[in-house]
């Protein structure tokens, strides 16, 4: 007869989103499994050109950036794409949930999973010898929020226009490309100039660079990181909103 | 069609729950719904009956706010389903034709999630009992049978205690046991004063479930009325049978002593002899058919059924 309050609808749906993510083995692999494995393996096996000092000093901020990208872009995109394909989004359209609460629930779920990722990854990195710079935490949160908006917009852009199966491949493929050309596993300076130049305009490198500076080196976050992330944070959600198909 | 006039005689004092006037829905060049006018009231079940592709789903999805009318007006509970979507949603229950559930979600999970969208929902456990899904409450959607999936969809339509329920092909692909559960739930809704609008391409379902029937074909309303009114419009008493098409009708008429015009073939292989439905007439028809070596099936006598009205109105009712 009447709808529950917006806050109740939003939290109920967010709880369902979070539960679904934690129950899907492929989501767990993407959001926690792969980041933990890469972090531990490349910290212990010195294969990557991570510069002077322990590899974990370079890898920890990069892997945190990778984890954020997996949750905000790939996991959100694949789940939303299949929901669209299965008619779940259409069915929700005939409930009092409402699109603002649905979107809010998805954002909230992404943020909660990101916190869980930090709760797992930071202690693992510290056990491997990483000493984060406490003073950079506030800036890191700002970077992560901007990056989440940008990655989330990209994920929804793909989910809203591609068939679910195509989106599955496209999202994972994009994740792999961004993982390689982002300074997450190795410094951008190791890439050929043209590749590094292109990478610097993408949100993955901007987030990784920013986190390296903020919690890795304890230096000021480069202005370029803020600008690139802010542009993506506005442009990608707008593009998604303009092209999203609910059915 | 003559029956249409009787159906639109709604008491003007009572506002109809669904008030649809001159609705046109067009997809590009294709007209899905063509100038449809209908009303529905609380405490009654109205069936939109028609062959596949007749425009039933387009009509219902306009009532649900999924599509905007190309022209015409639609009001549900006095609200415009598209413009007043947010205010209308808490008051309607929707059963989509298929899907809408994540394959790994279980009935209990989905029902309890949906229940949290409403202020005073039905108890999910009680609903699972009502639709006979208690035993499958923890089975993922993809492992449910077609009938179980439909019953979960019905439960989702009921969880918000709606004033109007839109059920799109609620019994399609459902086993007999599931049909009984769905029919019982629909009757319970009606008895509670809910306005139920359902679509079906199956006559038997309309006969079982509906108080009022609107037959639509190619987007147009071709007949409207109560079950009794529509059955009566199918014609007077008759003897009916199925036999291979191309029967010598004048010869049969001669043998029966009736004018040739009394024997018609409403659709190929369906014959109707407009005579009183007596045992003697049935025997005479059977005798002539036997003597001429005609294989028959489905020999019936009596007042015309809704089926005849339907077949006559929709040109055989074949799927398109």
The reply to whether residue B117 touches residue A12, judged by beta carbons under 8 angstroms, is: yes
Q: Are residues A153 and A238 in contact, defined by beta-carbon separation less than 8 angstroms?
A: yes
pLDDT at B4 over 70: no
pLDDT at B280 over 90: no
| Interface test mutation site (partner B, options A6, A9, A96, max chain B beta carbons within 10 A) | A96
Nearest CA in chain B to A10: B117
Which one has a higher pLDDT value, A132 or B281? A132
Which one has a higher pLDDT value, A95 or B269? A95
Full domain range(s) for residue A182: 6-243
CA distance A126 to chain B (A): 37
Percent of chain A whose pLDDT exceeds 90 = 90
Beta bridge partners of B212: B46, B226
Q: Are residues B84 and B241 in contact, defined by beta-carbon separation less than 8 angstroms?
A: no
CA gap B48, B213 in Å, rounded: 6
How distant is the alpha carbon of residue B124 from its chain centre? 28
pLDDT-based confidence at residue A39 (cuts at 50, 70, 90): very high
Which one has a higher pLDDT value, B246 or B107? B107
pLDDT-based confidence at residue B305 (cuts at 50, 70, 90): low
A83 contacts: CB under 8 Å, gap ≥ 6: A89, B102
The reply to whether residue A86 touches residue B156, judged by beta carbons under 8 angstroms, is: no
Q: What pLDDT is stored for residue B310 in this prediction?
A: 77
pLDDT at A108 over 90: yes
The reply to whether residue A82 touches residue B118, judged by beta carbons under 8 angstroms, is: no
Angle, helix A6-23 to helix B107-115, in steps of 10 degrees: 160
Name every chain A residue with its beta carbon within 8 A of the beta carbon of B117. Answer: 3-4, 9, 12-13, 95-97
Strand blocks (E) in A38-84: none
Name every chain A residue with its beta carbon within 8 A of the beta carbon of B120. Answer: 1-2
CA gap A24, A92 in Å, rounded: 21
pLDDT-based confidence at residue B6 (cuts at 50, 70, 90): very low
Question: What is chain A's percent helix, strand, coil content, to nearest 5?
Answer: 80, 0, 20
CATH number given to B3-232: 3.40.50.300
Name every chain B residue with its beta carbon within 8 A of the beta carbon of A90. Answer: 66, 96, 100
Cβ–Cβ contact B27 with A under 8 A = no
CB–CB contacts below 8 A, A to B: 86
CA gap B18, A247 in Å, rounded: 25
Mean pLDDT of chain A: 95
pLDDT-based confidence at residue B225 (cuts at 50, 70, 90): confident
Task: Specify the residue for token string 């010195």.
Answer: A46
Residue A229 located in a structural domain: yes
pLDDT of B237-261, one tens digit each? 788 888 888 888 999 999 888 888 8
CA distance B223 to chain A (A): 29
pLDDT at B232 over 70: no
| Interface test mutation site (partner A, options B113, B163, B167, B192, max chain A beta carbons within 10 A) | B113
pLDDT at B276 over 80: no
Beta strand B297-302 with B45-49 is unpaired
pLDDT of A144-171, one tens digit each? 999 999 999 999 999 999 999 999 999 9
Output the DSSP codes for B26-85: EETTEEEEEEEEEEE-TT-EEEEE--TTSSHHHHHHHHTTSS--SEEEEEETTB-TTTTH
pLDDT at A77 over 80: yes
Percent of chain B whose pLDDT exceeds 70 = 90
pLDDT-based confidence at residue B51 (cuts at 50, 70, 90): confident
pLDDT-based confidence at residue A84 (cuts at 50, 70, 90): very high
Residue A1 located in a structural domain: no
Q: What pLDDT is stored for residue B9 in this prediction?
A: 43
ipTM of the complex: 0.91
Cβ–Cβ contact A94 with B under 8 A = yes
How many separate domains does chain A show? 1
| Interface test mutation site (partner A, options B90, B117, B149, B165, max chain A beta carbons within 10 A) | B117
pLDDT of B122-166, one tens digit each? 999 999 999 999 999 999 999 999 899 999 999 999 999 999 999
């Amino acid at each position: 007869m009447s709808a529950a309050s917006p806050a109740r609808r939003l939290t109920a749906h967010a709880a369902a989103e979070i539960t679904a993510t934690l129950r899907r083995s492929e989501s767990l692999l993407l959001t926690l499994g792969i980041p933990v494995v890469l972090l531990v393996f490349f910290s212990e096996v010195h294969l990557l050109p991570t510069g002077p000092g322990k590899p974990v000093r370079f890898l920890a901020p990069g892997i945190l950036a990778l984890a954020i990208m997996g949750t905000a872009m790939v996991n959100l995109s694949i789940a939303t794409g299949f929901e669209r394909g299965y008619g779940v989004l259409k069915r929700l359209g005939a409930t009092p949930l409402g699109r603002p609460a649905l979107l809010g629930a998805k954002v909230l779920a992404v943020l909660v999973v990101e916190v869980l990722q930090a709760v797992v990854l930071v202690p693992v990195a510290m056990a491997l010898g990483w000493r984060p710079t406490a003073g950079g935490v506030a800036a890191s949160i700002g970077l992560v929020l901007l990056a989440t908006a940008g990655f989330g917009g990209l994920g929804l852009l793909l989910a809203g226009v591609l068939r679910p199966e195509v989106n599955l491949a496209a999202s994972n493929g994009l994740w792999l490309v961004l993982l390689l050309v982002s300074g997450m596993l190795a410094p951008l300076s190791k890439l050929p100039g043209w590749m590094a130049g292109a990478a610097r305009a993408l949100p993955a490198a901007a987030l990784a660079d920013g986190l390296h500076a903020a919690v890795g080196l304890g230096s000021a976050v480069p202005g370029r990181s803020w600008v690139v992330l802010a542009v993506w944070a506005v442009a990608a959600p707008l593009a998604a909103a303009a092209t999203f198909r609910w059915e | 069609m003559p029956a249409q006039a009787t159906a639109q005689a709604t008491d003007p004092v009572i506002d109809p729950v669904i008030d649809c006037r001159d609705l046109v829905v067009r997809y590009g060049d294709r007209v899905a719904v063509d100038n449809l006018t209908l009303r529905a009231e609380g405490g009654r079940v109205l069936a939109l009956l028609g062959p596949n592709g007749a425009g039933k789903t387009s009509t219902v999805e306009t009532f649900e706010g999924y599509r905007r009318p190309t022209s015409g007006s639609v009001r549900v509970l006095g609200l415009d389903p598209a413009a007043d979507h947010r205010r209308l949603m808490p008051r309607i229950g929707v059963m989509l034709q298929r899907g809408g559930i994540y394959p790994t979600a279980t009935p209990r999970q989905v029902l309890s999630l949906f229940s949290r969208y409403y202020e005073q929902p039905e108890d999910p456990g009680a609903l699972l009992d009502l639709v006979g899904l208690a035993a499958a409450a923890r089975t993922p959607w993809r492992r449910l049978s077609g009938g179980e999936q439909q019953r979960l969809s019905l439960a989702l339509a009921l969880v918000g205690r709606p004033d109007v329920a839109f059920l799109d092909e609620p019994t399609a692909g459902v086993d007999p046991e599931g049909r009984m559960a769905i029919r019982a739930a629909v009757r319970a809704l009606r008895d509670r004063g809910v306005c139920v609008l359902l679509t079906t391409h199956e006559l038997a379902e309309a006969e079982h479930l509906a108080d009022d029937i609107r037959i639509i074909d190619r987007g147009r309303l071709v007949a409207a009325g109560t079950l009794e009114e529509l059955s009566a419009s199918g014609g007077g008493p008759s003897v009916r049978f199925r036999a291979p098409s191309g029967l010598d009708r004048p010869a049969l008429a001669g043998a029966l002593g009736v004018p040739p015009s009394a024997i018609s073939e409403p659709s190929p292989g369906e014959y109707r002899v407009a005579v009183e439905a007596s045992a003697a007439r049935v025997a005479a028809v059977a005798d002539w058919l036997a003597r001429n070596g005609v294989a028959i099936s489905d020999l019936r006598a009596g007042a015309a059924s809704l089926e005849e009205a339907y077949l006559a109105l929709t040109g055989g009712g074949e799927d398109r």
